[in-house]
Copies of this chain bind each other. A is one copy, B any other.
Amino acid sequence: MTLDNSDRIRETVTRYLDLIANGTSADVAALYAPDATLEDPVGTEPKHGREAIEKFYAALDAVRNTTELLTIRVSGNTAAFHFRVVTDTGEQTITIEPIDVMTFDDQARITSMRAIWSPTDMVVA
């Protein structure tokens, strides 16, 4: 049971990174539970609910992203993962490698997301 849920959590994270690269903001928001929260980066005002979350990801729809999972750890209903996202805006390439912490419900939907990174971690080329 614990192991199964851990596997499903890993699947959701894999799908999340795939959709950040290849999906729409609506696709990404659909991975979240309806009443989920999102705080990205940590210290900013959290977003509440899928509608606000979809709006947060709307910037995705205008750019091209590639993503790569670097490390993931899962414990109970929580995952922490270090990943790389490279954003091609057409004018420049921005690389960020945050550590995200997510919690999940029994259906492995994201109930909260907190992204830990700072502007000093961004590489612009």
Contacts and interface: CB of A to CB of B under 8 A. Distances in A.
Report the copy number of this chain in the oligomer.
2
Given A99-B99, A101-B101, A118 B73 contact: yes
Nearest to A40: B75
B121 A76 contact: no
Interface in A83-110: 97-99, 101
B73 A98 contact: yes
A78 B116 contact: yes
A80 B40 CA distance: 14
A97 B80 CA distance: 12
- The 5 A-B residue pairs with the shortest CB-CB distance in the complex, in nearest-first order: A43-B76, A80-B99, A42-B75, A80-B116, A41-B75
Interface of A: 6, 41-44, 70-71, 73-82, 97-99, 101, 114-118, 121
